[in-house]
Amino acid sequence: MTRGFIRHFPGNLSEVKLIVNGVEYEFDLDPRTTLLDLLREHLGLTGAKKGCDHGQCGACTVLLDGRRVNSCLILAVAQQGAEVTTVEGLGTAERPHPVQRGFLDHDGFQCGYCTPGQICSAVGMLDEVKQGRPSAVTTPGDDLLSDAEIRERMSGNLCRCGAYPNMVPAIRQAAGE
Amino acid sequence: MKTFEYRTATAASAVLAPDAAFLAGGTNLVDLMKLGVATPDVLVDVTKLPLDRITDLPDGGLRVGATVRNSDLAADPRIRERYPVLSQALLAGASGQLRNMATTGGNLLQRTRCTYFMDPSTPCNKRAPGSGCPARAGDHRNLAILGGSEACIATHPSDMAVALAALGAQVRVESATGERTIAVTELHRLPGDRPDLDTVLDHGEMITAVDLPALPFATRSAYRKARDRASYAFAVGSVAAALDVADGLVRDVRLAWGAVAPRPWRATTAERLLRGRPATHENFLAAADEELRAARPLRDNAYKTTLTRNLTAAVLTRLASAGEAR
Ligand SMILES: Cc1cc2nc3c(=O)[nH]c(=O)nc-3n(C[C@H](O)[C@H](O)[C@H](O)COP(=O)(O)OP(=O)(O)OC[C@H]3O[C@@H](n4cnc5c(N)ncnc54)[C@H](O)[C@@H]3O)c2cc1C
Ligand code: SF4
Ligand code: FES
Ligand code: FES
């Protein structure tokens, strides 16, 4: 594990330790820094996108201690010691994550802007399904990966291109791996 | 965003500085800070306190800690079995990502989504007391038909709170001056001429838990939400209900409405009318109508009266005919 020291801000700073994609970092942060800005501006991880900056689009979705969250509404100072996984930490071009593979195989995107968020969200969502967690459309005994279930569970990620239809089989394929 | 100092809460009984605010999941507060609507000098993070558990109460009820995440509460097997209305209400709200951060306490204390309230460039009596209420003549399509005042017609946007109101939940709060318990239906104030005060809480009172009383017939309960798109949108109207039917008669009923008032609206008039009466669609409509006599709709939100009436009858009719709870 490498260790990075990033000190940018003068004035009112808070010390924060975070593990991002398996690498431990220490930051001296302006407390206003959101997790999204930390990833993009401080670490140069531009996979997570700033679509709305208000929790309304899902483009900034990352995994926080394994759970999907909107990084734009999270203050980095409040996540001392947390583990963050971004789309960059999921897979590589040579060895894509099953969800990335699914999106490629099924053409689950057009412009690609929302895609890192969609992929992180799908990874978190498949874990929720594995745990048997319900969604708003779940009736006991039903298949938690029906089209209706996948659509509802992914409703926190908007796609301006409307590439939704192919994401459904992409995600189902990944669930089988 | 105005700068602030970040601290973690050490105890619920600690004193909260005058310009400090509690931070939980941050999904509402951080948003309002970005918008310049909330401007705390200090944030006191409550999520490191041991308030993240759901425990059984001796009477068969459950105690839900204030920092239990909405997604964990919705997925808890005891909640799904004993209080399906609560699980359904939570899952109908926000998105998977937001529910993973949002907490019980923060959800209850989230602020109105009135567009003027969220835009500091406009007047708003709730945000800037005395500045006026542009919603009355302007955009009020999703604002209150019940419980509003001349000064403010904001609605409380929570889905969870509507289920909690139907279930008769109690909110436990603690501060430097002690502890108290408040019925969830009494937590939010009606605006009157002080719309700036959302709740009866004093500054520094921390929600530590929400107690769900034992309510055996709540195994037959449901939440239904109407909104502008199929998912990931706030309610324009919602109904939480639990129904106990025997021999075709309503033995007991719990009914609460969302998105129609400044607080989750427990429909006590309708409940009273229904007890002992035949559990028919007609009677459900009549009971809703009686409760809605107090409605004072404006130009663009009168649809909520019809919507709430029909949703109520639909939910109760389905519960009445459901042989089993789900
Ligand atoms: C795009 C979007 C869509 C949404 N859709 C819905 C929806 O459909 N239905 C719905 O119900 N909600 C919806 N929400 C709102 C969401 O449910 C709330 O933002 C969330 O529940 C707030 O919880 P939190 O823990 O993040 O609170 P925070 O943002 O941390 O805090 C909210 C308020 O509560 C106070 N507070 C927090 N915890 C305590 C405590 N323990 N004691 C005292 N005060 C406390 C804070 O000081 C603050 O004033 C949506 C939000 C967004 C951004
Ligand atoms: S309805 Fe209430 S919150 Fe909305 S503008 Fe009027 S005073 Fe402000
Ligand atoms: S950028 Fe975070 S939800 Fe849109
Ligand atoms: S692929 Fe373009 S926004 Fe989703």
Q: Is the pLDDT of residue A2 over 50?
A: no
CB pairs under 8 A between A and B: 103
Mean pLDDT, to the nearest integer, of B179-186?
A: 98
Nearest CA to ligand 3 atom 3: A55
For atom 11 of ligand 1, which residue has the closest CA? B158
Q: How far is the CA of B98 from the centre of ligand 1 (A)?
A: 9
Is the Cβ of A130 closer than 8 Å to some Cβ of chain B? no
Per-residue confidence at A141, pLDDT binned at 50, 70, 90? Answer: confident
Percentage above 70 pLDDT, chain B: 99
Q: Give the per-residue pLDDT at A1.
A: 38
Average pLDDT over residues A146-166: 98
Note the pLDDT of residue A154.
98
Q: How high is the mean pLDDT of chain A?
A: 94
Q: Tell me whether 0.90 is exceeded by the ipTM.
A: yes
Strands B265-266 and B62-65: unpaired
More confident residue, A165 or A9: A165
**CATH for the A98-175 domain, from 3.30.420.40, 3.40.50.2000, 1.10.760.10, 1.10.150.120:** 1.10.150.120
Backbone angles phi, psi at A61, to 5 degrees: -60, 130
- Give pLDDT, residue B323: 55
Cα B326 from Cα B323, distance rounded (Å): 9
Amino acid symbol at B208:
T
CATH number of the structural domain B223-324: 3.30.390.50
What is chain B's mean pLDDT, rounded? Answer: 97
CA distance A89 to chain B (A): 19
**Between β-strands B54-56 and B62-65, what pairing exists: parallel, antiparallel or unpaired?**
antiparallel
- Where exactly are the structural domains of chain B? 5-45, 223-324
Q: List, for residues B150-175, the tens digit of each pLDDT value.
A: 999 999 999 999 999 999 999 999 99
- CA dist B30 and B26 (Å) reads 5
CB contact under 8 A, B91 and A68: no
Query: What is the model's pLDDT at position A7?
Result: 47
Is residue A119 in contact with ligand 4, taking CB distance under 6 Å? no
Question: Tens of pLDDT along B59-83?
Answer: 999 999 999 999 999 999 999 999 9
- pLDDT above 70 for B324: no
Q: Above 60 in pLDDT, residue B294?
A: yes
Please give the Cα distance from B46 to B14 (Å, whole number). 11
Q: Is the pLDDT of residue A6 over 60?
A: no
Paired tokens of B264: 């989750």
Q: Does A8 score more than 70 pLDDT?
A: no
Cβ of residue B37 lying under 6 Å from some atom of ligand 2 = no
Q: What is d(CA B24, CA A83) in angstroms, rounded to the nearest whole number? A: 19
Topology of the domain covering A14-87: Ubiquitin-like (UB roll) (3.10.20)
Residue B52's Cβ-count burial label (10 Å; 0-12, 13-18, 19+) is: middle
Query: What pLDDT, on the 0 to 100 scale, is given for residue A177?
Result: 81
Range A6-34 average pLDDT = 85
pLDDT tens digit string along A78-123?
999 999 999 999 999 999 999 999 999 999 999 999 999 999 999 9
> What pLDDT is recorded for position A14?
87
Q: Is the pTM of this model over 0.95?
A: yes
Residue extents of the structural domains in chain A: 14-87, 98-175
